[in-house]
Structure 1
Amino acid sequence: MDHQNPNPNDPPLPSSPSSTTAILDSPLNAVGFEIQILSPHRVSGRIVVSPKCCQPFKVLHGGVSAMIAEALASVGAQMAAGFKRVAGFHLSIDHLQSAEIGDLVLAEATPLSLGNTIQVWEVELWKAKSSSVERRDLVASSRVTLLCNMPVPKHAQPLVDTLKRLAKL
């Protein structure tokens, strides 16, 4: 991501994926997820499975997979909706195999339907090969359905402005 500030009055943009994630989604940041690509047609990122995102059997927690899915779909839907407020109202997720501590898990959200009121996004999580970010083993597949035509509350407008700058839209 290119983090240039066109307006000198704007606060500086984050310099790393982890700081971008910290600004946009505190829970994702807390488990170590890093947002890497932001656009109205693709949101992606990565997480190295660690004890802070695992369940007691030392594999990626299914709730963390679901949180990643909803978060990425929500950010993408907000951009695709012209930065209006969005709200997820249905999430379905299939956990297909485990990811263990140390595995690099990549996630990508893409829209299936970009309606004026309802959007549907598909989110996939997969383990990367150790030497590349090539898709390997699908960990989880989900669909997120969102309502996307609500006004942004005044207190959330600064976050929307930051998202616009981060996505360079």
Structure 2
Amino acid sequence: MTDTGLPDLTTGTLLERMEIEITQASSERTVGRMPVAGNTQPYGLLHGGASAVLAESLGSIASAHHAGAERIAVGIDLNITHHRAAREGYVTGVATPLSLGRSVAAYEIVISDESGQRIASARLTCQLRDRPPGS
């Protein structure tokens, strides 16, 4: 458990494998960054699936903060539009709430390159559920 009462949401996960670093996490704003290197498709461009992983991860972490320690957040819908390519450096994603309810939370996630250019826009909806016993 972390100081928020939530379990560690990154260690041993896909975030760790893709070198995603969470720099801020709350229900109102969750921020993370990811290197382009190692997360590319064969042409050397940031893989669209990597952007989707970053977006879903940030929205899910924000939703988990909204849900609290007694509940879990699971993604039920993700859509993402890719606006431009990234070839190097880091991309940063920022998740902000669109709607925070008792059973559903929805977030907009904006992914930008190091110059501030928007790379992708995403929307994630998470269902909020009671934490299963033993988890």
TM-score (norm 1): 0.70
Q: Displacement, 1:48?
A: 2.0
Q: Relative contact order: is structure 1 or structure 2 higher (C-alpha 8 Å, sep ≥ 6)?
A: 2
Instruction: Determine whether 1:109 maps to 2:77.
Output: no
SS of 1:128's partner is coil
Contiguous gaps of at least 5 residues in structure 2: none
RMSD value, Cα:
1.9
1:40-90 residue CA offsets vs partner (Å, 9 max, x unmatched): 11110112210x211101111111111111111111111112231111111
Larger Rg: 1
Tell me if structure 1 keeps the 8 A contact 2:60–2:126.
yes
Relative to its length, the structure with more helix (as a share) is 1
Moved over 4 A (4+): none
SS of corresponding position for 1:154: coil
Q: CA offsets, 1:110-141, max 9 Å, x none?
A: 11100111111000100113xxxxxx210000
**Paired-residue identity, %:** 32
CA distance in 2, matches of 1:140, 1:155: 37
- The structure-2 alpha-carbon separation of the partners of 1:21 and 1:56, relative to structure 1 and needing over 3 Å to count, comes to farther
Structure 1 residues not aligned, in runs of 5+: 6-19, 130-135, 157-169
Q: Is the 8 A contact 1:124 1:141 kept in 2?
A: yes
Aligned length in residues = 129
